[in-house]
Amino acid sequence: MIRALALILSCQLAGEVGARLLSLPVPGPVLGMALLWALMVLLPRVAEAVMPVGEGILRHLSLLFVPAGVGVVGHLDRLGPQALALGAAILISTALAIAAGALAFTLVARLTGSHDA
């Protein structure tokens, strides 16, 4: 478990360093995710060791957003007189984006015959 955790953190560290060295617009952890994925594909033994630990961290992914969410409560007044316009923009555009993204996936899946097994 310690080795798997060390590997996950090492990927994050490498991602942070890599993103800054190469001035990539991607956050370090996202680059770290790509790195860990490549390692798992190349080395099945690594994959076996990392899977239970990674799944353990992801089991309560929602919890990890709570501190940032609490921070938002204190900044809600920053929205000020624009709160209504911002709320409308967020609600409508998020609904449109979810619908459009899911429809585009479904349409292209049908055209290319990509069935879910």
Partner 1 sequence: MRDVAEIWSYLAQGPLLWLTLTLLAYALADLVAEALGRPPLANTVLISVVLLGLMLWATGTPYATYFEGAQFVHFLLGPATVSLAVPLYRQGARLRRAVLPVLAGVVTGSVVAMISALAIGRALGLDLATLASLAPKSTTAPVAIGIAEGLGGSPTLAAVLVILTGITGALIATPLLDALRLRDWRARGLAVGTAAHGIGTARAFQVHPTAGAFAGIGMGLNAILTALLAPVVLRLFL
Minimum distance of partner 1 from residue 76's CB (angstroms): 7
39 burial via Cβ count (<10 Å: 0-12, 13-18, 19+): middle
**Toward partner 1, which CB reaches closer, 17 or 66?**
66
Question: Counting contacts by CB under 8 A, is residue 20 touching partner 1?
Answer: no
Q: By CB under 8 A, how many residues form the interface with partner 1? A: 79
Q: Does 17 bind partner 1 (CB under 8 A)?
A: no
100 lines the binding site for partner 1 (CB under 8 A) = yes
* Binds partner 1 by CB under 8 A, chosen from 1, 2, 21, 68: 68
What is the closest distance, in whole angstroms, from the C-beta atom of residue 46 to partner 1 in the complex?
Answer: 10
Give 22 or 115: the residue with its C-beta nearer to partner 1: 115
Q: Which residues contact 85 (CB under 8 A, 6 or more apart)?
A: none
Q: How many CA atoms lie within 13 A of 54 on its CB side?
A: 17
Name the burial class of residue 84, with classes exposed (0-12), middle (13-18) and buried (19+) by CB atoms within 10 angstroms of its CB: exposed
Which lies closer to partner 1 via its Cβ, residue 17 or residue 109? 109
Q: Please state, in angstroms and rounded to a whole number, the distance separating the CA atoms of residues 31 and 14.
A: 8
